[in-house]
Structure 1
Amino acid sequence: MKLQTKLLIFLISTTLLVAGLIVFLSHRSVHTILLEEAAKRGLLKTKGLPAETVSGFQTESEKIILPMLQASLEQTGAVYAMALDPNGRVLAHTNVIEAGKIYTDPVTRNAIRSDQPGYRELEANDQTVVDVSLPVWSIRQATTEEEFLLFGGKELKETTRLGTLRLGLPIRDTLQIEKRITVQIVWILVVTGSIALGASLFFMRKVLLRVQLLIEGTGRISRGEYGALVPALSKDELGVLAHSFNQMSEDLAMAHEHLENEVKIRTQELESVVYTISHDLKSPIVSMQGMASILMEEYSGQLDEKGKHYLLRVISNANYMEEMIIDLLALSRIGRAHNAPEPADVRTIIEKVLDLHRERFEKQGIEIVVDPALPHFTFDRTQLTELFQNLITNAAKFMADQSHPRIEIGGRETGEWVQFYVKDNGIGIDPEYHEKIFKVFQRLKEVEVEGTGVGLSIVKKIVDLAHGKVWVESQKGEGATFFVRFPKQEV
């Protein structure tokens, strides 16, 4: 998952979480405040109840209390009104059938225990109400005159709890107001959240754009474009990172150039040494061959069979050394010679190679199949000829006793590459040797064949110099397919 997607998910989920929390807390706060205001309004409307009601509580007379409750019902618009004694027994109720009952529910217990007015939200008569409870006291002042008060004053001398007055005030309008406020809060959060989220996404895209430039820069370096630079668009941390990246890239380019020059110098020195040694060894080898041949022609009659055998071994080894020297010289020439690339008809080049070895292939009974649609491209024709000659002759060497030997040659363009292959149905190559066979003088041990083990090294060097790739796909006993791939921009 991309970083941009992760940040987007984080921002959206965080925004929704915060918005939900704000809506929840706001709803609770608004609900509490509106309930409190509704309860206060009910308390204010009942504050002026007639003092004669105290006698109703004292005598527990429903006839005295009920008119006061009915008046409170009309004055406050309450759903119900009731008077309770200190034990929760109903002294009077606007629903007269409730009179005489003892309430033990939690709301009643809290109301008769509290010395202060209170309120509680509950369901009554299929609607939501705020139940307001008011303690009723008998207060004796210094004048010994009793009054019915809902709230005590500083002049109180003696108080007696007579009971509790409870009113069920409807809050339908309050809930409607609460709903409208909540909807407004939600819309405000939607608008502000959308603006904040949009601003965050805009800022995030700007930051990620600069990160993407750094990613592209590292990708270019990984592809070998040492010295690739990225724009430093600001002086913040990302700008400092971009400057550091550019400095690193420039240092890497200089180090790479230095190493390339060192490798080039060492390679040239090594090729020069190989060329010099090979060239200098060729003359004594030729002399050795000549003298051994003269001995065999003019003095073979004076030698016994053992002497002839040794002399033949000298000639054979001298010939093998000459082949090795010729191959080493060919290998060293690849790095030293620089022929201009030119358009090459690959099929024509392959046909010339096949004509050169046709007698040998016919003797082995090898069927040669060449793809008629081989791609054309620009390359060094001499090196291309040498490449196919080594691959084709290598395939022919390892046919062993195959009853129907076959070599197939093909190629195609694939995207940014030009690819060729040489496929045979010979003895195959164990995967253990897939890398080793491209090294100088490395040969398969399973079968004795002619050659020095330099041919595939020549192929690899030609491909490496063109920044291409060569590899083999094979299993022992199942034939082998050699692939060579060249980048189009190089060829």
Structure 2
Amino acid sequence: MMIETTSPTASAAIQSLFCQLPAPALLLDRRGAIVTVNLAFAELLQLYPEQIVGHAATEYLRFGESGRGDHSVAGSVARLRRATDRGSQEFKVSSLPGTSYRLVLACSPETQTYASRREGELQHLFYSISHNLKSPVVSIQGFADLLMETDPDTPLREVRHYLERIQHNALHMNKIIHDILEFSKFSRRAQRFETVDLDEIVTTVQSENLFRLKEKNVRFVRPEALPQIQGDYEGLLTVYANLIDNALKYIGETSEPEIEIGYRDNGRFYTFWVRDNGVGVAEEDCERVFNLFERAGASKQVEGTGVGLAIVKQIVERHGGLVTFRSKPGLGSVVYFTIPK
């Protein structure tokens, strides 16, 4: 059964993140019925997921010390009703902001750190999708209501204004959904590692942005040669596409705009960067720019959804690397990322 949210695309993204949880996990609706389980939970019970979904959680779990606890209380503890070859597994109940769902996640020393991070991502994803889709939906509804209330003598320019606002918000919703799909795709797709020519990748992205670079009179600086590395071609192409797109968006009204592509060989790994001399952001906002839908400082004045850097972080980390962001208002920004050799 698919997790239901405000859009099928959002549901797919959340389902993908949920399935990646390494610890046994299940999702409950407000009645305590099981909406979905991951493979780890199904394997724990030695059942198929379809044999579990739709049943009451209390058939498999005892909530509270007495077994009569409330499944809807965040922070409460549950245990399996019958022992398995892994012993008596303990579960913790968490709420998912913006929904009536409850996430029930197994607790174990081996998986707790990773699972907690994934749980946080899942909660943030639920909240972010609800929050970011709500605004254009409310706006569309508002302008549609105004159109319904207009009389036949309403000037055409006023009607056209309402329709333009509806169209603008519909396009924004479509962009959000597209970016959620991209985020979901790179979280669930199998990476295909091969020898990747980064010169070819940067040349491709540069060519695709040639008009924008000329339009903004941007000096595009790159080394004579970038290394060939082992990585996922599509993922690394997306990293450079998103970083260069980001730099172009926030180059601002700089008198001599410049985007620099660079790298450094550190022995066991490479450090790459994309630098611009655009508007920049405040230092306290630098850590938040990789959060899904996060748009800090002056970036809020630029068209976008705030998903691009979250995708970059996801791809780099799946390559075993790290990504950092440095910026100063008025001086520009630089994104560094590492890739092991």
Return the TM-score normalized by structure 2: 0.57
- The letter of the residue matching 1:487 is P
- The letter of the residue matching 1:471 is T
Q: Give the Cα separation in 1 of the matches to 2:125 and 2:283.
A: 34
- Indicate yes or no: 2:322 matched with 1:465: no
Equivalent residue in structure 2 for 1:344, among 185, 190, 196: 196
- Indicate yes or no: 2:300 matched with 1:450: no
Q: Give the Cα separation in 2 of the matches to 1:454 and 1:329.
A: 10
Match in the other structure for 2:74: none
- The letter of the residue matching 2:266 is T
Equivalent residue in structure 2 for 1:257, among 89, 104, 110: 110
Q: Quick check: 1:375–1:412 contact (8 Å CA) kept in 2?
A: no
1:257 partner SS:
coil
Percent identical across equivalent pairs? Answer: 34
Measure how far apart 1:270 and its partner are: 7.4
Q: CA 1:434–1:478 in structure 2 vs 1: closer, same or farther (change >3 Å)? A: same
Q: Give the Cα separation in 2 of the matches to 1:273 and 1:475.
A: 31
CA deviation digits over 1:294-331, x for unaligned, max 9? x9xxxx99753332212211110110111011001101
How many pairs does the alignment contain? 222
1:435 partner SS:
helix
CA deviation digits over 1:375-429, x for unaligned, max 9? 2111011110111111111111111111211101011220221110001111122
Q: Give the Cα separation in 1 of the matches to 2:328 and 2:154.
A: 52
Alignment of 1:28-427 (within 5 A): 255-259=108-112, 262=115, 304-427=156-279
Q: CA 1:445–1:314 in structure 2 vs 1: closer, same or farther (change >3 Å)? A: farther
Q: Quick check: 2:290–2:309 contact (8 Å CA) kept in 1?
A: yes
CA deviation digits over 1:111-152, x for unaligned, max 9? xxxxxxxxxxxxxxxxxxxxxxxxxxxxxxxxxxxxxxxxxx
Query: Structure 1 unaligned runs (5+)?
Result: 1-253
Q: Give the Cα separation in 1 of the matches to 2:297 and 2:120.
A: 30
Match in the other structure for 2:34: none
Query: Structure 2 unaligned runs (5+)?
Result: 1-106
Return the TM-score normalized by structure 1: 0.40
Q: Quick check: 1:334–1:462 contact (8 Å CA) kept in 2?
A: yes
Q: CA 1:261–1:386 in structure 2 vs 1: closer, same or farther (change >3 Å)? A: same
Match in the other structure for 2:17: none
Q: CA 1:364–1:268 in structure 2 vs 1: closer, same or farther (change >3 Å)? A: closer
Measure how far apart 1:267 and its partner are: 8.5
Q: CA 1:344–1:301 in structure 2 vs 1: closer, same or farther (change >3 Å)? A: farther
- The letter of the residue matching 2:330 is G
Q: Give the Cα separation in 1 of the matches to 2:248 and 2:187.
A: 27
- The letter of the residue matching 2:186 is I
Measure how far apart 1:430 and its partner are: 1.4
Instruction: Determine which structure has greater relative contact order: mean sequence separation of CA pairs < 8 Å that are 6+ residues apart, divided by chain length.
Output: 2
**Higher helix content, 1 or 2:** 1
Measure how far apart 1:336 and its partner are: 0.6
1:442 partner SS:
coil
Q: CA 1:305–1:436 in structure 2 vs 1: closer, same or farther (change >3 Å)? A: same
Q: Give the Cα separation in 2 of the matches to 1:262 and 1:399.
A: 38
CA deviation digits over 1:236-275, x for unaligned, max 9? xxxxxxxxxxxxxxxxxx955333774698589779989x
Measure how far apart 1:484 and its partner are: 0.4
1:306 partner SS:
helix
Structure number with greater Rg is 1
Q: Give the Cα separation in 2 of the matches to 1:463 and 1:309.
A: 43
2:110 partner SS:
helix
2:311 partner SS:
helix
Q: Give the Cα separation in 1 of the matches to 2:120 and 2:213.
A: 37
Q: Give the Cα separation in 2 of the matches to 1:438 and 1:258.
A: 24
CA deviation digits over 1:57-107, x for unaligned, max 9? xxxxxxxxxxxxxxxxxxxxxxxxxxxxxxxxxxxxxxxxxxxxxxxxxxx
